[in-house]
């Protein structure tokens, strides 16, 4: 008995679990040379002890969602639900075997994610317009955003009622005095939500589908406000009242502050960004701090934190109350209520709702006496968000916000390490020597910037090297002055005592803008980089997960996927041709190596092509068309290895281009006897959507939005040996002409908000 007690005193309870768990975990497995001196067993034991297996459930759930979006057609719902049930039964049966139990739980999470994607897709299903329509309509204004309206359609006088979209987004002329909740009538030009401008680019059609938007367009002529025959439902009435209150407060803040700072200050409080001048947006982007005007995680944490601190500080002023009541929990509940009200008042955008879920989970952990900041809580928040909106996993908002928070949570233990020489580690001594607040801000900003860089490069094709400087100078003002002033201003607003508070906030915002302008003037403040491949993004994302989730030395395994991902990122795919989804234009890589624009693609589409190629030229740069020879019938560009790439605008040009070109791109139907090596005419583009081409030695790789990847043989009979054609041998439509010679087509851009 004494020996047993002595052993128990020598081995603490947690350590005893760490010693016992590897045997169960590794039962029946000989690690052999992979487990030098038991390091792997001890590392796995620590992961189990620290409960770091749970976050991988959220990862597996996300994998299931990704598999759903890779599936062809509409997968059957019974399949993932049945597989999930079988996996759960298997987990129950195999609960005594740790490896088998973990594998079945992982499978269950994958099938649950797949099922969540199928359920969400079916629940938001609504009619989507499949053609261009110009017709009278009536509907309620669901949301007003400057010159854009989100309408709940009541009637569309073209087509059957079953084909009528539930929501449409239309633009109106400036000066229209419209607000949410009004019943309006007018004539609109509507078209289907546009797909991605290139495979891998921003897919507005997918986002519109999950928001219930079935058409986009513009109002033609006057928009009339009418009395509705039937009153709108309570949800629309509530949304209208909230939107009206937001508009009033937006104008009050902007007028109290004045200038661009007034627009930024109003956007920070109400989420209305329509009053921010575009040059100011460019300044904030150049400094890498544009995220401060998009209400998301930063604003939600600062607002909730302000409520938490104010309530806790006020309650602490009464010692008797502070000693008898759980002040911290009362402050946490107040913060949760305040954050929810802030989310509703700021418009309840998708990114704001995700941030609210994360904030509620963190403060909810305080109520049950759990650590607020932990990877486990972050995983719970991710599971809730993904279960509600599986499509969020594909967007930059979810990826960047959760990636940044995970990286910063992984940093926290490293900032409190204890060494053998004393309670303070080297990093803690550095913090004390340099100033803990300033040094901590720099470190967390750097870590967050590195964690979000792959997602920024993939989605936006841009990096802000000086974002660390901009955030380090601007965030203290936002955290210590701007957001507390916003909370105090909203509380003082009903009493009419808010103007001085807004002016104080405006002074801080003005300083933020001055800092942004200073940082934005640095050479190379914004770098346009080629779009990462999906493989590079997957490897870098895996590296981030492996680095942030494990608590043991297993985190250093992240070096392997990080290294492979960086190698792939250094050699991104470069496409030789970008073709618009309807053949309105194309970007072709000339023999000189740069893209040349032909046709009349929209500015938004052309900008997406240039950024995907890492080209920082503006869409109105005259050099974009100097390598193409055009007339009213079409264009010819001489690409690498002397290939002629033809863009046909007139049917008569097919006769010559079908004989001489290697590739033809056209929005009209080619004749059946056209013997060109690769033809992307009206029917081909209708089948594939937007297309990119990359030439090999004897093959061409085709990536399209709708059909994915294809590899076809490239017939070289139609290629020309010389890089520049002799004057007498040029096609008849190979003379340069001004851009205005092309017909002005009205092409929807699908530009995101």
The confidence score (pLDDT) of residue 436 equals 59
Q: Which residues is 117 bridged to in the sheet?
A: none
**Domain end: 83, 99, 123, which one?**
123
Q: Is residue 330 part of a domain?
A: no
Distance CA 488, CA 480 (A): 12
Whether 527 is in a domain gets the answer no
What's the confidence (pLDDT) of residue 751?
Answer: 44
- Give the three-class secondary structure for 435: coil
Any idea what the CATH number is for the domain that residue 142 is in? 2.40.50
Is residue 186 pLDDT above 80, yes or no? yes
Query: Contact 42/18 with Cβ under 8 angstroms?
Result: yes
Compute CA distances 404 → 389, 413, 445, 447, 456, whole Å.
20, 16, 9, 7, 12
CA distance 162 to 680: 34
* Maximum average pLDDT range among 41-45, 305-309, 412-416: 305-309
Q: Is the same domain home to 113 and 137?
A: no
Residues 85 and 158 in one domain: no
Query: Looking at the domain assignment, is residue 170 inside a domain?
Result: yes
Least confident of 220-234, 478-492, 597-611, 721-735: 721-735
Nearest of 128, 131, 265 to residue 189 by alpha carbon: 131
Same domain (yes/no): 90, 196: no
* Claim to verify: residue 108 and residue 173 sit in the same structural domain: no
pLDDT, tens digit, 9 for 90 and up, residues 555-611: 889 999 999 999 999 888 889 999 998 889 999 998 888 999 998 998 889 999 999
Where in 649-753 does DSSP place strands (E)?
Answer: 663-666, 678-680, 691-695, 699-704, 708-713
Residue 131 DSSP SS3: coil
Q: Are strands 167-171 and 213-226 parallel, antiparallel or unpaired?
A: parallel
Q: What is the pLDDT of residues 410-456, one digit of tens each?
A: 876 665 544 444 444 545 555 454 455 566 667 777 788 888 889 98
Instruction: Give 509 or 411, the one with higher predicted confidence.
Output: 509
Residues 6 or more apart whose CB falls under 8 angstroms from that of 72 comprise: none
In a domain, 748, yes or no: no
Do residues 70 and 201 share a domain? no
In a domain, 674, yes or no: yes
What per-residue confidence (pLDDT) applies to 715? 62
Query: Do 142 and 65 fall within a single domain?
Result: no
pLDDT exceeds cutoff 90 at 339: no
pLDDT of residue 99: 81
Mean pLDDT of 284-311: 79
Q: Give me the pLDDT at residue 109, please.
A: 95
What percentage of the chain's residues is helix, strand, coil (to nearest 5)? 55, 15, 30
Same domain, 612 and 733: yes
Average pLDDT of every residue of the chain: 80
* For residue 405, pLDDT beyond 50: yes
Per-residue pLDDT band at 734 (split at 50, 70, 90): very low
One domain, residues 616 and 719: yes
Under a CB-based contact definition with an 8 Å cutoff, are residues 502 and 489 in contact?
A: yes
pLDDT, position 586: 92
- 118 lies in the same domain as 140: no
pLDDT at 473 over 80: yes
pLDDT at 362: 84
Average of per-residue pLDDT across 335-340: 88
Kindly indicate the confidence band of residue 364, based on its pLDDT and cuts at 50, 70 and 90.
confident
Structural contact between residues 305 and 335, judged by C-beta atoms closer than 8 angstroms:
yes
The pLDDT assigned to 63 comes to 95
Are residue 30 and residue 51 in the same domain, yes or no? yes
| Choice between 435 and 738, residue whose per-residue pLDDT is larger | 435
Task: Output 38 or 698, whichever has higher pLDDT.
Answer: 698
| pLDDT tens track for 457-470 | 899 888 888 887 88
DSSP state of 554: G
Checking if the pLDDT of 746 tops 80, the result is no
Dihedral of the alpha carbons of 362, 363, 367, 368, in degrees to the nearest 10? 0
Is 180 domain-assigned? yes
pLDDT of residue 81: 93
Please give the average per-residue pLDDT across 100-104, as a whole number: 88
Higher pLDDT, 460 or 18: 460
Tens of pLDDT, residues 244-292? 888 888 889 999 998 889 989 888 888 888 788 888 888 888 888 887 7
- Residue 287 included in any domain: no
More confident of the two residues 221 and 737: 221
Q: Is the dihedral of CA 526, 530, 531, 537 positive or negative?
A: negative
Q: Do residue 15 and residue 96 come from a single domain?
A: yes
The answer for residues whose C-beta is within 8 angstroms of residue 470's C-beta and 6 or more apart is: 287, 288, 289, 464, 515, 516, 519, 520
Of 206, 232, 258, which one is at a domain's C-terminal end? 232
- Number of structural domains (the chain) is 3
pLDDT tens-digit readout, 109-167: 999 999 999 999 999 988 898 888 889 999 998 887 778 889 999 888 876 666 789 99
Instruction: Specify the length of the chain in residues.
Output: 753
Domain of 190 in residue numbering reads as 133-232
Question: Which pLDDT score is estimated for 244?
Answer: 83
User: Distance between the two ends of the chain, CA-based, in angstroms?
Assistant: 72
> Could you report the per-residue pLDDT of 668-723, keeping only the tens digit for each?
999 888 888 888 999 999 889 999 999 888 888 899 998 888 888 876 544 443 33
Decide if pLDDT at 401 tops 50: yes
Q: With bands split at pLDDT 50, 70 and 90, how would you rate the model's confidence at 52?
A: confident
Cα–Cα distance for residue pair 130/191, rounded to 1 Å? 7
Name the domain boundary from 232, 264, 289. 232
Residue 655 counted as domain residue? yes
> How sure is the predictor about 17, in pLDDT bands with cuts at 50, 70 and 90?
very low
In a shared domain, residues 215 and 140: yes
């Amino acid at each position: 008995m004494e020996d047993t007690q002595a052993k128990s005193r020598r081995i603490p309870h947690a350590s005893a679990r760490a010693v016992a768990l590897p045997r169960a975990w590794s039962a029946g497995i000989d690690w052999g040379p992979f487990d030098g001196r038991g390091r792997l067993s001890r590392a796995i034991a620590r992961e189990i002890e620290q409960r770091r297996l749970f976050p991988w459930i959220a990862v597996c759930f996300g994998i299931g969602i990704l598999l759903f979006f890779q599936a062809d057609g509409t997968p059957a719902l019974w399949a993932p639900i049945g597989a999930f049930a079988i996996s759960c039964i298997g987990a129950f049966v195999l609960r005594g075997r740790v490896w088998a139990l973990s594998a079945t739980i992982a499978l269950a999470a994958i099938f649950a994610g797949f099922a969540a994607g199928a359920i969400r897709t079916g629940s938001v299903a609504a009619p989507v317009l499949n053609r261009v329509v110009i017709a009278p309509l009536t509907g309620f204004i669901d949301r007003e955003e400057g010159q854009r309206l989100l309408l709940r359609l009541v009637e569309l006088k073209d087509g059957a009622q079953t084909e009528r979209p539930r929501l449409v987004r239309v633009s109106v002329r400036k000066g229209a005095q419209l607000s949410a909740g009004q019943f309006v009538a007018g004539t609109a030009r509507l078209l289907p939500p546009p797909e991605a401008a290139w495979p891998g680019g921003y897919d507005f059609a997918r986002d519109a589908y999950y928001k219930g938007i079935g058409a986009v367009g513009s109002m033609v002529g006057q928009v009339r406000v009418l009395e509705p025959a039937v009153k709108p439902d309570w949800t629309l009435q509530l949304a209208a009242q909230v939107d009206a209150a937001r508009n009033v407060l937006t104008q009050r803040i902007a007028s109290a502050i004045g200038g661009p700072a007034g627009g930024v200050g109003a956007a920070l409080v109400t989420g209305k960004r329509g009053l921010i001048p575009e040059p100011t947006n460019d300044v904030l982007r150049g400094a890498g701090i544009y995220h401060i005007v998009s209400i998301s995680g930063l604003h939600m944490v600062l607002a909730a934190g302000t409520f938490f601190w104010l309530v806790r500080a006020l309650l602490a002023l009464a010692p008797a109350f502070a000693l008898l009541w759980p002040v911290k929990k009362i402050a946490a509940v107040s913060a949760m209520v305040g954050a929810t009200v802030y989310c509703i008042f700021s418009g309840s955008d998708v990114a704001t709702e995700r941030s609210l879920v994360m904030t509620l989970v963190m403060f909810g952990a305080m109520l049950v006496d759990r650590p607020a900041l932990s990877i486990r809580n972050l995983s719970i928040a991710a599971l809730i968000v993904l279960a509600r909106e599986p499509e969020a996993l594909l967007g930059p908002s979810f990826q960047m916000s959760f990636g940044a928070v995970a990286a910063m949570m992984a940093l926290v233990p490293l900032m409190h390490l204890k060494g053998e020489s004393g309670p303070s580690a080297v990093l803690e001594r550095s913090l004390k020597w340099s100033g803990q607040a300033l040094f901590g801000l720099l470190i967390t900003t750097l870590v967050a910037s590195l964690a979000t860089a792959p997602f920024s490069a993939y989605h936006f094709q841009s990096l802000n090297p000086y974002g660390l400087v901009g955030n380090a100078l601007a965030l203290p003002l936002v955290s210590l002055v701007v957001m507390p002033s916003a909370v105090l201003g909203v509380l003082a607003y009903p009493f009419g005592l808010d103007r001085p508070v807004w002016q104080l906030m405006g002074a801080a915002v003005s300083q933020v803008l001055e800092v942004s302008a200073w940082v934005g003037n640095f050479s190379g403040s914004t770098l346009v980089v080629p779009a990462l491949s999906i493989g590079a993004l997957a490897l870098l994302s895996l590296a981030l997960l492996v680095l942030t989730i494990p608590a043991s030395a297993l985190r250093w395994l992240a070096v392997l996927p990080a290294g492979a991902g960086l190698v792939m990122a250094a050699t991104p795919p470069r496409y030789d041709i970008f073709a618009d989804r309807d053949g309105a234009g194309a970007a072709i890589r000339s023999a000189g190596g740069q893209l040349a624009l032909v046709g009349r693609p929209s500015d938004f589409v052309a900008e997406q092509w240039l950024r995907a190629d890492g080209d920082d030229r503006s869409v109105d740069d005259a050099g974009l068309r100097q390598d193409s020879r055009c007339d009213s019938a079409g264009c010819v560009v001489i690409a690498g290895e002397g290939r002629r790439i033809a863009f046909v605008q007139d049917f008569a040009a097919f006769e010559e281009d079908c004989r001489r070109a290697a590739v033809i791109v056209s929005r009209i139907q080619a004749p059946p006897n056209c013997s060109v090596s690769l033809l992307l005419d009206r029917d081909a583009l209708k089948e594939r959507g937007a297309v990119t081409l990359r030439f090999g030695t004897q093959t061409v790789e085709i990536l399209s939005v709708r059909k994915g990847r294809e590899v076809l043989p490239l017939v070289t009979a139609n290629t020309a040996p010389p890089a520049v054609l002799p004057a007498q041998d040029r096609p008849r439509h190979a003379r340069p002409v001004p851009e205005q010679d092309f017909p002005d087509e009205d092409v929807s851009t699908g530009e995101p908000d």
